[in-house]
Structure 1
Amino acid sequence: MMSDSVKNNVGARIRLWSIWVVVLIILVWAFTGVEYSGIMATAGEVSRSILRGLFHPDWGYVYLPEGEDLLRGLLDTMAIAVLGTFISAVLCIPFAFWAATAKGKARWATGSGKFVLSLIRTFPEVVMAIIFIKAVGPGSYAGALALGVHSIGMLGKLYSEAIENLDRGPTEALVACGANKLQTLWFAVIPQVLPDFFSFALYRFEINIRSAAILGVIGAGGIGTPLIFALDARSWSRVGIILLGVIVMVTIIDIISGYIRKRLV
């Protein structure tokens, strides 16, 4: 007779291997559905061309006295990310308190808040950008609005989790001393969640920098616009300098943001 512990171990292993088999079947099914003939015909040539552009970049495009250049495109991309992050970091605060679970709060109120944040996260930045391009026209303004609205969903979720995990001791102490809700919020809640809010906003800013570089491809401003023009013209040296510029900008911002987040936390 097998003991209960042995049976549990055998059952756990069977469940684990069953999960891996299902995942493997899904991966095989997904890859077999991809048409590789067109990819294999063009991937090699395009890859070699982009690599030649990276090793022989157009350094003259870094700065041009007149017209668009790399520096202006990167600054435009950074401005879109900064404005989009600021919009979302401010507007998501009421959504975060709405979705956060709290003692004595109705379950339907918390559930509706979480549903709204999930609904906002459903639409990718590209879809948001297309909508705002139709609403306000192509350019950086549409890109900033797209990033700002889309980021509300994710930042609101992270903010609400920070609110749920805060220490209830200071809040209960202030309530016991007769403090009202505004005083409790200002002196007990905000000082605890503010470092997390700043840390999450900086992390989202890193993501928005990358997203802003992509949104220009569909006309939402930033460095993506000259990149798609260079790709269409097969100007691989210009593609190379744009990619190098994006890599340098993202790397510097990641280093600075990571240092600030460590100091905050």
Structure 2
Amino acid sequence: MNMQTTMTNKPEKPVHLNPWRRWSWLIWLVLVAGVYTWAITGLHFTGLQESAGSVSKSIVHGLVNPDWAYVYNGSGEDLVSLIIQTLAIALLGTFVSALISVPFAFWAARGEHEWGHLRSGSGKIVLTLIRTFPEIVLAIMFIKAVGPGSYAGVLAVSIHSIGMLGKLFSEAIENMDRGAEEAIVSAGGNSPQVFMLATIPTIMPEFISYTLYRFEIAVRSASILGMVGAGGIGTPMIFAIQTRAWSRVGIILLGIVVMVLLIDTLSEQLRKRLI
């Protein structure tokens, strides 16, 4: 009885915290502060120009009083026509990239076998290289190759979207629920049956959801690519900025805002139904 009491009342050894865990927050704080300090000191503020006040007033006046006559005039170069062209560039570019991204996604998806890591590693490197080029750089390159216009914009959106969708699709494949595949295999199904009856139905909702999300981004990108001559609403916007037609800039920006809001709302509703 005394032995049990002694064992029960035996004091526990104090737990010594790792010094790294105790002071790690301070180290990270110093590192973050150092990075921010380095970034801020690297900026050189040159001041404001003498005409900054008058130019700012002109910009605000133009944005507040947009050129409503530019909304639609039947010329094909009005706001509505160019917004439809911008949507077409984004839609076609996203659709093409979604189809091409599927084989890239299965290439980059990590498998269960040892050789699968080497295969997926090479696929991830290729997708990373594709994503390295910004869309506006791709647009300039394709303008030199195929000429200015919507075709160059579609190519730029498509190529850049392959890198993004391929990465997202591969992650969806890696994280998918394998229960349906195991059930078909246990029932005697072969590889094509597993792929068609289990893999595709499982990953398709996420593929469509990611494609819709990418389409939202492509709409914004297509609005900017026109500034370098790749078609869409960006072309008249850069002309209006260069000529200081701020009322025209105001109505164009208003049209882009309305377009993006509508696309975001519709895409969000569709994604809720899919997931």
Q: Tell me which interval the TM-score lies in, with the shorter structure as reference length.
A: over 0.9
Q: Which residue of structure 2 lines up, in the alignment, with residue 25 of structure 1? A: 34
Q: How many residues end up aligned between the 2 structures?
A: 262
Which whole-Å CA distance do the structure 2 matches of 1:57 and 1:162 have between them?
44
Residues 200, 239 of structure 1: alpha-carbon distance in 2 compared, 3 angstrom cutoff: same
| Runs of 4+ displaced beyond 6 Å | none
Instruction: Using the TM superposition, name which of 106-115 and 227-236 deviates more.
Output: 106-115
What letter corresponds to residue 141 of structure 1 in structure 2?
A: Y
Aligned to 2:140: 130
Give 2:81's aligned amino acid: R
1:162 and 2:168 are equivalent in the alignment = no
Shift of residue 40, structure 1, vs aligned partner: 6.1
Shift of residue 160, structure 1, vs aligned partner: 0.7
Residue 14 (1) aligns with residue 20 (2): no
Q: Which moved more, 1:166-175 or 1:208-217?
A: 166-175
> For each residue in 1:40-82, what CA deviation from the matched residue of structure 2 results, as whole angstroms up to 9, or x when unmatched?
6666554433322221000001011225111111111111100
Instruction: Report the alpha carbon displacement of residue 168 of structure 1 after superposing the two structures with TM.
Output: 1.4
The structure-2 alpha-carbon separation of the partners of 1:38 and 1:76, relative to structure 1 and needing over 3 Å to count, comes to farther
Identity of aligned residues (%): 56
Identify unmatched segments of 5+ residues in structure 2: 1-12
Q: 1:101 to 1:192 in 2, by over 3 A?
A: same
Paired residue for 1:82, among 64, 82, 91? 91
Q: Is the 8 A contact 2:59 2:246 kept in 1?
A: yes
Q: What is the aligned partner in structure 2 of residue 256 from structure 1?
A: 266
Question: Are residue 236 (structure 1) and residue 207 (structure 2) matched?
Answer: no
2:124 alignment partner AA: K
**Counterpart code for 2:122:** S
* Aligned: 1:217 with 2:217: no
What letter is aligned with 2:237?
Answer: L
Equivalence map 1:93-242=2 (5 Å): 93-104=102-113, 106=115, 107-242=117-252
Of structures 1 and 2, the larger Rg is shown by: 2
Question: Following the alignment from structure 1 to structure 2, what is the Cα–Cα distance between the partners of residues 31 and 70?
Answer: 40
1:92 aligns with 2:101: yes
Pairwise CA distance, 1:133: 0.9
Structure 1: stretches of 5+ with no match in the other structure: none
CA 1:123/1:192 → structure 2, altered by over 3 Å: closer, same or farther? same
What do residues 8-32 of structure 1 show as CA deviations (whole Å, max 9, x unaligned)? 4x63352222222222222222222
Cα distance, 1:39 vs structure 2: 5.3
Q: Could you state the TM-score of these two structures normalised by the residue count of structure 1? A: 0.92
Once residues 45 and 15 of structure 1 are traced to their aligned partners in structure 2, the CA distance between those partners, rounded to angstroms, is 51
Q: Distance in 2 between matches of 1:90 and 1:112?
A: 20
1:55 aligns with 2:75: no
- The answer on whether the counterparts of 2:76 and 2:82 sit within 8 Å (CA) in structure 1 is no
State the distance in 1 between where 2:49 and 2:196 align.
Answer: 60
Structure 1 position 223, deviation (Å): 0.6
